Amino acid sequence: MVETTRTSISSVINERAIDNLPVNGRNFLDFATLTPGVVRDPTRQGDLAVGGQKGTLNSLQVDGADNNNTFFGQSFGRTGTRPPYQFSEESVQEFQVNQNGFSAEFGRAGGAVINVVTKSGTNEWHGSAFEFFRDEALNSNTPVLTARGAKRPKSQINQFGGTIGGPIKRDRAFFFFAYDGQRSNIPNVVDPPNFFAQPASVRNLLLPFLDTYQIGRDQDVYMIKSDIRLNDSNQLVLRFNQQNFTGNNNENSGPLSVEEHSGNSIAKTTTFSGSLISTLTPVLINEIRFQFGRDREPGEANSDVTEARIQTGGGFLQLGRNNFSPRETTIKRAQFIDVVSYTRGKPNLKFGADLNFDRVFNFFPGLFSGQFTFNSYALFASNTPATFVQNFPGAGTTGGTTNPDLNEYGLFVQDDWRVSPKLTLNLGLRYDLQDLADPTVKNPSAALAAAGLDTTTPIRDGNNLAPRFGFSYAFDDKTVLRGGYGIFFGRTPAIMLGTAHSQNGIQVTGVSLNCALVPNPCPAYPNIFSAPPSAGGVNPSLYLFAKDYAQPYIQQGRLGIERELFANTSLSISYLYFRGVHISRTRDINLAPPVPTTVTDPAGLTFTVLRHPAARPIPGFARISLFESTADSRYNALAMELKRRFTRGFQFIAAYTLSDTSDNRPD
C-alpha cells in the first residue's frame, strides 16, 4: 500500500476508477483534478495548472511518447478546448500524475508529467460496448427564446463505442481495438443588447442574421494496439491512434456572434508509435521507442462577406467572416528514444536520449479579409462605418504563413540507488536543448538598429542542465518519509516563434482608416481593397525575442510523509514548492516614461494619473512587443491525500490542498 522506494509526489488513477467514475464528456484527463495540487487552468480553457504553473509547462506522455502540441502548448488535438479528447476513456489502462519531482527520464515540462498507459490484449477475449445520450427533453427553454415565443431548440449529446481484445497467438501475440464516437448539437442563442428598442426598419434588416444556430461536435477516435513477444529476450509493442473531429460552428460563438461569423473547427490527429524492449543480459535492458505523428487543425469560415462590428451598447454584434478564419496549424512529428537500464546490486542506473523533430505549418491571415466598425445599429442600417482596417501580406514574403519548426534534444542519466533496506536515493541529471528556427525577415529600420533591436534575433539557450535529487526513508513497511529538489525546464511554444516570424513590420502590413474623413478613404461596405492603398498605412506593431531570452524552468521541492493507517488505506501529507524562473512574458518597450496627466470622468470630476505619452520613443512603430524571460512565480502548498485501494468492492481517493500562489503576469 505504501511505496517505500518512491521519492516523487505522484498519484495513479487506475483502470477501475476510469471505468466506473462518472465524468461529464468522458475526457479521462478530467480525473487528474482529483489529485492534490492539480486544477483547471483559470486562464486557458482545457489546460491543467499544476503547482500554480500555466498549462503550457505540463507534458502528456502516452505509452512513453510525447503527445504534446508544441505550437499551442497543449496536448495533441488541443483536446478540452474544441475537440473533447484524442484517446478514448475505453482505451486507457491507467495514468499517473507526477506533480512534483519526476525522473530525469522525462523533460520539457516544468509543471507535471502525466504518463498514460493504454490497454493491451491478453490470452482471454474481452470486449465492451457503451452509449451515453442526453436530450433537450431535460432542458428548460431560455428566457430569450421564451420572450420571442420560440420553441426549445434541439440539444443532444450522444457518445458511443466499444472495444475488443484478445490473442493473435496464445502467449505470443495479442491485439486490442477501441472505437469511440461522439455526436452533439448544442444551441447558440444570438441575443444582442438593446436590439428590440430599435426601429422596425433596423430590426427587419438584422433579424435574418439572429437565428439560433447549432454548435456541433462530430468525432471518431480509433486505436489499435499489438503486443508481440518475438522471443524470450525481445518484446515489440505497436500502436496506431486516429482522431477525426469536426466542430460545427466552433470557430466563434456566443450571444453576439451570428452563424456566418463562425465556421467549422477541424482536428485530425494521427499517431503511430512503438517500442522494442530487449533483455540483453540479466542486468542490462534496452528500450527503443519511436513515434510518427501528425496534428492537423484547420479552421473554416462560414462566410466570405467582410466582417462588420456593430456597437450595441453592450458589446459588438459581429457579422460576416471572422477576422482569423480560414486558418490552419499542422505539426508533423518524428520522435526517437533510447533508454538503457542497468541493475547490479544496489544501484539501478538508467540513461538515454530523447530526440523530437517537429515540422510546423502555420497559416493565420488575421484581418486580411477586412473589418468595418459601426458605432450604432442605426449607422449600420445607413451604411455609415466609423473605421475600417485591413491587413496585407508583404510583397515578396509568405504573409500569414510561417514555419516555426523545432528540434528538441534530450539526454539524461538517472540512478535509483537502494542505499539500505530503509533508504533510497534518486540522483538524476538531464540536458535539454530546444533548437528553434530563426526568424529570417529583417526590418531595415534605422530607428530599430539605433535601439539595438533586430527582428531576426534568434533563440540561443544551450546551457539547460537540470539536476534532480530525491530520497525516501522507510521507518518500516507502513511509514515512509519522502523529499527532494530539482530543476525542470519547460518549452517555448512555437506560437511565440511563429509570431516573431511574421510580425516584423515587413511580412504583414496594414491600414487603419477613419471613415468620417472627407473625402471618405474607406471602401464602401462590404468591399475591401485588393492591394494596399497609398494612404492610411499604420505604424506596424512588432514582435521579437529579447537577445538574452532563456528557456523557462521551474524549481520543484517537496517533503512529505505517508503512513498506512490500516489495511489497504493510507494517508499522505506533503509540502510542495514550485518556483518559476525565466518564465516567458510579453512587454511593450516602445513606451515613453509615464507622466502625470489630468483626466475627467463622466461626472465631471478631475483626477491626476500616470499615463504614457501618445508619442512613441522609437518612431515609425506602434507597439514593439518583446518576448522576454523575466517573469517568475511562487507556489507553496500543503497537500493531503487519503486513499484506499480496491478491497471488498470499494476504493477511494480523497485529497485536500491548501495553497498560495503568486506571479508577475507570465503569458
Distances (CA, A) of 174 to 124, 165, 286: 10, 8, 22
Which residue's entry shows cell 538515454? 352
Q: 3-state class of 296 per DSSP?
A: strand
pLDDT digit string, tens, across residues 522-573? 999 999 999 999 888 889 999 999 999 999 999 999 999 999 999 999 999 9
Which residue stretches of the chain have pLDDT < 50? none
Name residue 339's beta-bridge partners.
Answer: 287, 352
Residue from 325, 405, 409 nearest 369 by CA: 325
Q: 3-state DSSP call for residue 209?
A: helix
What does the block give as the cell for 472? 525516501
DSSP string, 330-372: EEEEEEEEEEEEEE-SSEEEEEEEEEEEEEEEEE--TTTT-EE
Phi/psi-derived region of residue 157, left when phi > 0, alpha when psi is between -120 and 50, beta in every other case? beta
- What SS3 state is found at 237? strand
3-state SS string for 44-68: CCCCEEECCCCHHHCEEEECCEECE
Cα gap 496→205, rounded to integer Å = 42
Question: What CA–CA distance (Å, rounded) separates 295 from 365?
Answer: 20
The answer to whether the CB of 276 falls within 8 A of the CB of 235 is: yes
For 300, the 3-state DSSP assignment is coil
Radius of gyration, alpha carbons of the chain: 28
List the grid coordinates of 263. Answer: 465556421
Backbone torsions φ then ψ of 450, nearest 5 degrees: -65, -30
The verdict on whether omega for the bond into residue 519 sits within 30 degrees of 0, i.e. cis, is yes
C-alpha cell at position 219: 468525432
At which residue does the C-alpha cell 486544477 appear? 39
The DSSP code for 20 is H
338 Cβ partners below 8 Å, 6+ apart?
Answer: 286, 287, 288, 289, 352, 353
Q: How many other C-beta atoms lie within 10 A of the C-beta of residue 140?
A: 8
In terms of Cα–Cα distance, which of 184, 177, 152, 161 is closest to 25?
184
| Residue 578 dihedral angles phi and psi, to the nearest 5° | -130, 130
466 strand-pairing partners = 430
Please give the Cα distance from 414 to 211 (Å, whole number).
60
- Prediction pTM value: 0.93
Strand partners, 630: none
pLDDT of residue 147: 81
What are the φ/ψ torsions at residue 619 (nearest 5 degrees)?
A: -70, 155
Look at residues 446, 458, 539 and name the one whose alpha carbon lies nearest to residue 501.
458
Give me the pLDDT at residue 24, please: 84
The two counts, helices (H) then strands (E), for the chain are 6, 35
Please state, in angstroms and rounded to a whole number, the distance separating the CA atoms of residues 4 and 416: 13
